[in-house]
Structure 1
Amino acid sequence: MSTPFPWPYRTPGIPDSAFERIPGIPMSPREVRVLVLSQLRLGENHCLWDIGAGTGTIAIEAAVLCPKAQVIAVERDAEVVSLIEGNCKKFGLSNVQVIQGTAPDCLQQLSPRPDRICIEGGHPLQEILESCWQYLSPEGRIVATTHSLDGLYGLSAGLAAVRAHHVEVIQSAVNRLEHRGRAQMLVSLDPTFVLSGEK
């Protein structure tokens, strides 16, 4: 059995290269992941639902940072579910449960009730957010990400519809130094909207 990938720190920021990937499957890059994790405000014993988990980076990093927390990662595609399970195994995690399902239809099957919800994908986002809100514990917190203006409008409308408190909207703009031949260039990542609100 291989040794789990080491992350001995108490802060987020696991390198993107530490995660196994499938071409075409989205992954929250490190800088966006750090922002999302900070907005989630996870407690030591919280339960987190990660809806549309993709590569599983947020679910996995949350589980690494809070080993007593319960993390449920939801993804609709069987191949991607296997990818998340493989990444969990790589990090030696036992506190992540990976569920194959499509939100919002699968939400009623999830247990326990979440203290925190992260929405990383799905359609339509507004419907998913409003459905997730019904399961969120009192004083719980929801964080959602999108790259599109349509997604921004849908999530904003959803937070308004459920009357979320302390709503925040952040747009990340991140540039990374990359080597292109002999040149060094700052290359921008896709801008991401990060929305959050409390019950």
Structure 2
Amino acid sequence: MRDDEFLRNKVPMTKSEVRAISIDKLALTNKKTFLDVGAGTGSVSIQAAREFPDLAVTAIEMKDDGIDIIKQNINKFNLQNINLIQGVAPHDIPNQKYDAIFVGGSGEQLEPIIEFANEHLTDEGTIVLNFILFENAMQVEKLLTDAGFKKIEMVEIGVLRWHQLGKGHFFKPNNPTIIVNARK
């Protein structure tokens, strides 16, 4: 989905190229349950819910601005398969099994979120996490390894967008994003 399809406010959004790779790494085909932690604008939840209409999506976000814009986007796209929760992860996440978990924001709760994922991901379930800080990516790699996750992968994506400047054009960079994925 294009970024301009989403209603926006000041809440940061996972951009389309990063979202596409993250959703691909989640491997949602034939999965039943998906959890989006730190949902922000809900762009990952919204796109996953649209592309996989039989997927039960749970999105958790703690900030009022995020909840507001996610609700607006759920209504805009007329989605019935998203359960939106305002709360803090992992404390307020429903106690059930998930086939895939995406972590876009951890609110300084990275270790307990990984513990939750380890306990609540189904066998062969996937987890994908996005970071802009190298230190957070290295911390999660250790946490995933210590928890026994398999096939840990890490990629960095840098996207540059074409912009006009006077009579010419240039590529303006977005912040690079580190995408970490692993399997239970």
TM range (shorter): over 0.9
Normalization by structure 1: what TM-score? 0.87
AA at the equivalent of 1:15: R
How far apart are residue 83 of structure 1 and its match? 1.0
1:65 and 2:51 matched: yes
AA at the equivalent of 2:73: N
Q: Distance in 2 between matches of 1:120 and 1:28?
A: 8
| 1:171-182 correspondence to structure 2 within 5 Å | 171-182=156-167
| 1:85-164 correspondence to structure 2 within 5 Å | 85-107=71-93, 110=94, 112-122=96-106, 123-164=108-149
Q: Structure 1 or 2: larger strand share?
A: 2
In structure 2, stretches of 5+ residues that fail to align are none
Q: State which of 19, 30, 35 in structure 1 corresponds to 2:6.
A: 19
AA at the equivalent of 2:104: E
AA at the equivalent of 2:133: S
Shift >3 Å, 4+ stretches: none
SS at 1:116 equivalent: strand
How far apart are residue 111 of structure 1 and its match? 5.5
Aligned residues: 183
In structure 1, stretches of 5+ residues that fail to align are 1-13
- List per-residue Cα deviations over 1:15-39 (Å, max 9, x = no partner): 111111112x110000000010110
SS at 1:21 equivalent: coil
SS at 2:123 equivalent: coil
Contact 1:171 1:191 survives alignment (8 Å): yes
Contact 1:115 1:136 survives alignment (8 Å): yes
How far apart are residue 101 of structure 1 and its match? 0.8
Q: State which of 133, 152, 161 in structure 2 corresponds to 1:167.
A: 152
What percent identity do the matched residue pairs reach?
A: 29
Q: State which of 175, 178, 185 in structure 1 corresponds to 2:170.
A: 185
Contact 1:28 1:58 survives alignment (8 Å): yes
Normalization by structure 2: what TM-score? 0.94
